[in-house]
Chains A and B, each alone.
Chain A
Amino acid sequence: MTTTEPTTNPSLPVLENFSRRAAVKAGFATLGAGAFAAAISPLRQAAKNTSAAEFMQTHYTELSPEQKADVLARLETETKEKYNAEVTIADDRPIPGTKFVYAINLSVCNGNGKCVEACHKENNHDRDTNQSYIRVIEMPKGTMDMEQGSTTYSGAVPKDDKFYLPVQCQQCDEPPCVDVCPVKATWKEEDGIVVVDYNWCIGCRYCEAACPYHARRFNWKKPEVPAKELNPDQSYLSNRIRPVGVVEKCTYCLHRTRRGKLPACLEACPTGARVFGNILDPNSNIRWILEHKRVYILKEELGTKPAFFYYFD
Chain B
Amino acid sequence: MLRVANLLFAGVVCLAVAMIFVVVNRSGQRDDSRITHDALAEHDVVAKVAPIDSQADGTGQEFQPGSDAPRVSTTSATQHPIIIRKPSGPPRIELAGTDPQGRIGSVACSTCHHVRKPNLENKSPATLDEFHQGMTFNHGSIACYACHNPADSDALRLADGTKVAYENVMTLCSQCHGKQAESFAHGAHGGMNGHWDLTRGPQMKNNCIDCHDPHAPSYPKMIVGFKPKDRFNGPLSDDHHHEGAESHDDH
A39 near B227 with CB under 8 A, answer: no
| Chain B binding surface, main DSSP class | helix
CB within 8 Å for A184 and B222 given contacts A90-B61, A289-B188? no
How far is A73 from B61 in the complex, measured between Cα atoms in Å? Answer: 10
CB within 8 Å for A94 and B186 given contacts A66-B54, A88-B62? no
Q: How far is the CB of A217 from chain B (nearest CB, A)?
A: 9
B52 near A261 with CB under 8 A, answer: no
How far is A272 from B20 in the complex, measured between Cα atoms in Å? Answer: 61
Residue B36 CB within 8 A of the other chain: yes
Query: What 1/0 mask marks residues of chain B from 71 to 90 whose CB sits below 8 Å from any chain A CB?
Result: 11000000000000000000
A157 near B221 with CB under 8 A, answer: yes
Interface residues of B in 179-214 (CB under 8 A from A): 179, 183, 186-197, 199-201, 203, 206, 211
B63 near A90 with CB under 8 A, answer: yes
Return the contact of A25 from the options B5, B221, B228 (Cβ within 8 A). Answer: B5
Which residue of chain B has the shortest Cβ distance to A121 in the bound complex?
Answer: B226
Interface residues of A in 77-107 (CB under 8 A from B): 88-96, 103, 105
B200 near A65 with CB under 8 A, answer: no
A278 near B196 with CB under 8 A, answer: yes
Which residue of chain A has the shortest Cβ distance to B240 in the bound complex?
Answer: A154
Residue A29 CB within 8 A of the other chain: yes
Stretch in contact with the other chain, from A7-15, A128-136, A204-212, A241-249: A128-136
Q: How far is the CB of B160 from chain A (nearest CB, A)?
A: 28
Stretch in contact with the other chain, from B40-48, B95-103, B123-131, B165-173: B40-48
Stretch in contact with the other chain, from A45-53, A55-63, A141-149: A55-63
Q: How far is the CB of A151 from chain B (nearest CB, A)?
A: 7
How far is A112 from B222 in the complex, measured between Cα atoms in Å? Answer: 6
B16 near A31 with CB under 8 A, answer: yes
A105 near B188 with CB under 8 A, answer: yes
What chain B residues lie within 8 Å of A92 (beta carbons)?
A: 63
B8 near A130 with CB under 8 A, answer: no
Size class of the contact patch on chain B:
35 or more
Residue B19 CB within 8 A of the other chain: yes
What chain B residues lie within 8 Å of A117 (beta carbons)?
A: 225-226
Residue B141 CB within 8 A of the other chain: no
Listed by A's residue number, 21 A-B pairs whose Cβ atoms lie within 8 Å are A28-B9, A28-B16, A65-B50, A72-B55, A88-B59, A91-B55, A96-B45, A111-B224, A117-B226, A129-B229, A135-B228, A184-B37, A190-B41, A197-B37, A259-B200, A260-B66, A267-B192, A272-B190, A272-B211, A278-B196, A288-B187
| Apart from A66-B54, A154-B227, A272-B189: 20 A-B pairs, beta carbons within 8 A | A22-B5, A24-B9, A29-B12, A32-B12, A65-B58, A69-B57, A76-B59, A90-B56, A93-B41, A95-B197, A110-B221, A130-B227, A151-B230, A197-B37, A260-B199, A261-B195, A261-B196, A269-B191, A285-B186, A288-B188
**4 tightest A-B contacts by CB?**
A260-B200, A69-B58, A285-B187, A260-B197
